[in-house]
């Protein structure tokens, strides 16, 4: 059973980002109408102004909408995790989701039908779990990112309570030359300067940008609810992923980066790069989703051509 068929209108928050911009195009290609949330004056009928910090989202923004996708949030690798930036990471995620969830709940109370809601989340939800295989039924882990993801997903509670169908897209490390972690890693790979991070034995739950976008389109039209892992079906150890990328680029991958150096250079985010998360997409696979790049060899071809 699906909740939103192509031809419906999707309200999209975070449409200017790496994933959001590609998602807007993919949804349109599938036959959806796309209405983008912007934090400025709208330039055309396809844009709707909002201000999550001020709690501003007009009721008309949701008129005729069959699904809402919220991807908004400050980049976890954009700055060192100072106390102020940690607050910004939480505020920039929970604020927009709380606002949309509250508006959806108000509309249901006023007699409008429930609307499908898909929000971003992350595999950081699971914390550092070593060799444990993590599915959607696994509980949250420890640490700042785990706590952030719990709060992020919890911000949808008003919509869930009102009867809306809600899914949390727990995204892994997105591999694409244009942005994300790969945008920093791939130049080093091409220069022959990449190598294992920390021990290199930690599991990295990765996904290509193409599969990430396709999975989000799938979620818009799916009845899946709760946490949904957006990761490739074959998680890879960090050392194997880096070596596979280097082999595809015809470069060595022999320069290890000590865990302490990552923490010094990147602060809290550096610690996340050496965390081990053996995440598998059990829900997506069971729901019939097909990955275009299920293995790290496929991913290397996709991101390095």
pLDDT of residue 235: 94
Write out the two tokens for 262.
């990552």
Domain extent at residue 219: 9-304
pTM here is: 0.94
Q: Which residue spans within the chain are E strands per DSSP?
A: 9-13, 33-38, 47-49, 65-70, 116-122, 133-134, 166-171, 173-175, 203-204, 206-208, 226-230, 236-237, 278-279
The answer to whether residue 194 sits within a structural domain is yes
The answer to whether residue 3 sits within a structural domain is no
The answer to whether residue 94 sits within a structural domain is yes
Residue 160's CATH number = 3.40.50.720
The answer to whether residue 139 sits within a structural domain is yes
Q: 260 by DSSP, 3-state: which?
A: helix
The answer to whether residue 30 sits within a structural domain is yes
pLDDT of residue 265: 55
The answer to whether residue 182 sits within a structural domain is yes
The answer to whether residue 270 sits within a structural domain is yes
Residues of the chain with pLDDT under 70: 1-3, 259-269
Count of domains observed in the chain: 1
Question: CA 203, CA 211: separation in Å to the nearest integer?
Answer: 19
Question: CA 113, CA 31: separation in Å to the nearest integer?
Answer: 22
Cβ–Cβ < 8 Å for 143, 89? no
Q: For the segment 224-273, what is each residue's pLDDT rounded down to a tens digit?
A: 999 999 999 999 999 999 999 999 999 988 877 776 566 655 566 677 78
The answer to whether residue 2 sits within a structural domain is no
Question: CA 185, CA 64: separation in Å to the nearest integer?
Answer: 42
DSSP H/E element including 26: helix 18-29
């Amino acid at each position: 059973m699906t909740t939103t068929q192509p031809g419906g209108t999707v309200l999209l928050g975070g449409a200017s980002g790496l994933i959001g911009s590609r998602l807007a195009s993919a949804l349109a290609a599938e036959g959806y109408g796309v209405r983008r949330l912007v934090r400025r004056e709208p330039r055309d009928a396809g844009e709707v102004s909002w201000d999550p910090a001020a709690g501003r989202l007009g009721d008309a923004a949701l008129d005729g909408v069959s699904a809402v996708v919220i991807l908004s949030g400050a980049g976890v690798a954009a700055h060192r995790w100072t106390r102020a930036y940690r607050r910004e990471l939480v505020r920039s995620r929970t604020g927009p989701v709380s606002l949309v969830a509250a508006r959806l709940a108000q509309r249901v109370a006023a007699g409008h039908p429930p609307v499908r809601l898909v929000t971003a989340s992350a595999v950081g939800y699971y914390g550092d779990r070593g060799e444990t295989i993590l599915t959607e039924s696994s509980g949250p882990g420890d640490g700042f990112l785990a706590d952030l993801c719990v709060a992020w997903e919890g911000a949808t509670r008003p919509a869930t309570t009102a009867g809306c169908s809600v899914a949390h897209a727990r995204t892994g490390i997105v591999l694409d030359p244009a942005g994300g972690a790969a945008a920093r890693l791939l130049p080093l790979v091409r220069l022959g300067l990449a190598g294992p991070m920390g021990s290199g034995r930690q599991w990295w739950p990765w996904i290509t940008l193409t599969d990430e976008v396709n999975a989000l389109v799938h979620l818009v039209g799916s009845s899946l609810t709760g946490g949904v892992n957006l990761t490739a079906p074959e998680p890879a150890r960090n050392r194997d992923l880096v070596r596979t990328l280097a082999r595809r680029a015809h470069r060595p991958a022999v320069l290890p980066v000590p865990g302490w150096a990552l923490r010094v250079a990147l602060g809290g985010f550096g610690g996340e790069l050496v965390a081990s998360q053996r995440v598998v997409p059990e829900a997506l696979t069971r729901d019939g989703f097909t990955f275009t790049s299920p293995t790290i060899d496929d991913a290397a071809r996709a991101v390095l051509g």
